[in-house]
Chain A
Amino acid sequence: AQTVTQSQPEMSVQEAETVTLSCTYDTSESDYYLFWYKQPPSRQMILVIRQEAYKQQNATENRFSVNFQKAAKSFSLKISDSQLGDAAMYFCAYRSGGATNKLIFGTGTLLAVQP
């Protein structure tokens, strides 16, 4: 069975600085997708970034980028120029490459942004 591990329960960053959130996963599949979701206090789950395992190039979305190390099964999220609105719980998630969109989530990292 697939598992997702986030080893940092909490992180803190100064406004305008850069922070990296860690995620590792375990799978025997070769075709899969990885995601980072943001959950602010409103509880809404917001998709931040997505990575297809077959792509070697790391995904980037504005200030958000990932470091995808397939052999090491590592998928970290880098937030550049951190903003107060980035403060939230961040979840790493795994999805198999089949037809289902069933997601397996990590336990989350609570990010605080200091002004």
Chain B
Amino acid sequence: NAGVMQNPRHLVRRRGQEARLRCSPMKGHSHVYWYRQLPEEGLKFMVYLQKENIIDESGMPKERFSAEFPKEGPSILRIQQVVRGDSAAYFCASSGQVYEAFFGQGTRLTVV
């Protein structure tokens, strides 16, 4: 049973470009969570999605960030017009019916 898969592992974007981060949850999991980890900090919750629905986006910046989890395919975290401050590691976690979330290995975004 494959774990949570995130790709790419590393992503470099120039300021103003778009970044798309993908997350495939564990098989059978229908809940996805995105977190951001800035350098030297802990993980900060961004958004919680179930299939085709955003359940909690209280941690998402109001502009430039969006997330989706379509009926088919991976969850996508999209950052438009990236700025240097968006450089961070972005983690995805998935869960099923139990109270444990399984994390992917993260995507390290570098904005140059």
Contacts and interface: CB of A to CB of B under 8 A. Distances in A.
A43 B106 contact: yes
Nearest to B55: A100
A51 to B, nearest CB: 11
A45 B31 contact: no
Contacts of B48: 100-102
A43 B105 contact: yes
A101 B44 contact: no
Nearest to A9: B40
Interface stretch (B16-24, B68-76, B79-87, B93-101): B93-101
Interface residues of B, number: 22
A101 to B, nearest CB: 4
B42 A101 contact: no
Contacts of A42: 105
Interface bin, chain A? 10 to 19
Nearest to A4: B42
A91 B99 contact: no
Interface in B30-48: 31, 33, 35, 41-45, 48
A33 B98 CA distance: 12
B5 interface: no
A29 to B, nearest CB: 14
Given A47-B100, A101-B33, A102-B56, 8 more contacts: A37-B103, A44-B103, A44-B106, A50-B100, A100-B55, A101-B31, A105-B44, A108-B41
Interface of B: 31, 33, 35, 41-45, 48, 55-56, 89, 91, 93, 95, 99-101, 103, 105-106, 108
- A-B pairs with the 8 shortest C-beta distances? A45-B103, A105-B42, A101-B95, A101-B101, A105-B43, A107-B42, A43-B106, A44-B105
